[in-house]
Amino acid sequence: MTAMLEIRNLRKSYAGVHAVDGVSFDVEQGSITGLIGPNGSGKSTTIDCIAGFQKADSGRVVLGSSDITGLAAHEIARAGLMRTFQTVRVYDRLSLRDNLTIAAQQFDKAKWTDELLRTARYREAADAAEKRARELIDLVGLGRYFEAEAGILSYGQKKLTALAAALMPRPKVVVLDEPVAGVNPTRIREIEEVLQRLNAAGETFLIVEHNVEFITNLCHHVVVLDQGRKLAEGTSAEIHTDARVLEAYLGMTPEMAEAEMRGAA
C-alpha cells in the first residue's frame, strides 16, 4: 500500500513540556488508521499540528506527494486534508443541503463575481455541489433530512452531517476528532457502518478516539501514544495483546486482560 499521509519526528512543546515528542507514523491510502492513548498522551496536539491548527516545533508532514509542513490550516485543507472536531460544528438554522454546499464553496473555482452575475461557471459549480451533497447525505443515511434544518438532528446525526461536509471537496485524507464522543451506542454502530461504507468507496481516514471497541472494530492500523511518544503500533489484534498498551492505556496487565477475555467467553 502507498502512504497517503506521512508524519515524521513531529515535536511540539509548551513551556518545556513535550506534548508531542518525536512521533512518526503513516496513514496508508484507502485505510482507516486509529490514533489512541490515555488523556494527555498528545493525540489532540498531534492532529492539530498535522492539520495546521497548531505549528509544530519540528518534524515533517507529507500529504500524498506534497510537503504540507508549516502550512496554515486553510492551505492544508486545500491541499486535500480535512478534519472534523470533537465539538460538532453545523449551522443549525440551515438545511443539510446548505450546510454541505457552503462547505464546498471555498474549494470551487467560481468567484464572487460569478455568483453575482450567475455565470455559467457559477451554475456549474452550484450544480456539482448540490449533486455531491445529495450523494454524501444519502451515504451517511440522512437523505430524508436533506431539506430539513440541521437543528432538528440528534447529536450523532450532526456528527454525520459534519463528516459529510468534510468530504465535500473530495479530500485525500479526513481526520476525525472523537467522532463518537457523546453519542449513544446505537448511533455509534451507525457511524461505524457509515465509515466502513465510505472507506469501501475509497475514502482514507485518520481517527482519534477514546472508544477502544470502536477503534478495534473499525481500524486497519492503530497507533498508540503515551506521554507524547509513540508507544506502539500495529493491527487491532496486535495492540490488544501488547503489554505496554494494556498497562498504559487499558490499565491492566496481560494476565488481567487474559482473565477478562476468559470471563467474557
Decide if pLDDT at 146 tops 60: yes
Decide if pLDDT at 261 tops 60: no
The answer to whether 107 and 78 have CB atoms below 8 angstroms apart is yes
Q: What is the pLDDT of residue 258?
A: 53
Based on the fold, state whether residues 46 and 98 are members of the same structural domain: no
Print the domain residue range for 247. Answer: 3-87+171-264
Where does residue 120 rank: exposed (0-12), middle (13-18), buried (19+ CB within 10 A)?
exposed
Kindly state the cell numbers that stand for 204. 482514507
Based on the fold, state whether residues 185 and 249 are members of the same structural domain: yes
Based on the fold, state whether residues 196 and 244 are members of the same structural domain: yes
Distance CA 131, CA 150 (A): 18
Kindly state the cell numbers that stand for 150. 440541521
Q: Please say which residue of 152, 179, 201 terminates a domain.
A: 152
In this prediction, residues 146-152 reach a mean pLDDT of 95
Based on the fold, state whether residues 57 and 106 are members of the same structural domain: no
Q: What is the pLDDT of residue 254?
A: 52
Q: In 3-state terms, what secondary structure has residue 202?
A: coil
Based on the fold, state whether residues 182 and 132 are members of the same structural domain: no
Based on the fold, state whether residues 194 and 148 are members of the same structural domain: no
Q: Please say which residue of 152, 181, 201 terminates a domain.
A: 152
Based on the fold, state whether residues 181 and 246 are members of the same structural domain: yes
Kindly state the cell numbers that stand for 142. 440522512
Q: What is the pLDDT of residue 129?
A: 85
Higher-pLDDT residue of 106 and 41 is: 41
| Domain contains 28 | yes
Number of domains in the chain: 2
Q: What is the pLDDT of residue 228?
A: 92
Based on the fold, state whether residues 188 and 136 are members of the same structural domain: no
In this prediction, residues 120-135 reach a mean pLDDT of 80
Q: What is the pLDDT of residue 122?
A: 59
Q: Please say which residue of 152, 181, 199 terminates a domain.
A: 152
pTM: 0.86
Decide if pLDDT at 114 tops 70: no
Nearest to 214 by CA among 182, 246, 174, 254: 182
Based on the fold, state whether residues 81 and 107 are members of the same structural domain: no
Per residue in 56-110, pLDDT tens?
999 999 999 999 999 999 999 999 999 999 888 899 999 999 999 988 877 666 5
> In the chain, which ranges are continuous DSSP H helix?
43-51, 73-79, 96-105, 112-117, 120-139, 155-167, 185-200, 212-218, 236-240, 243-248, 254-264
| Domain contains 215 | yes
Confidence of residue 202 (pLDDT cuts 50, 70, 90): very high
Based on the fold, state whether residues 59 and 176 are members of the same structural domain: yes
CATH number at residue 196: 3.40.50.300
Q: What is the pLDDT of residue 247?
A: 78
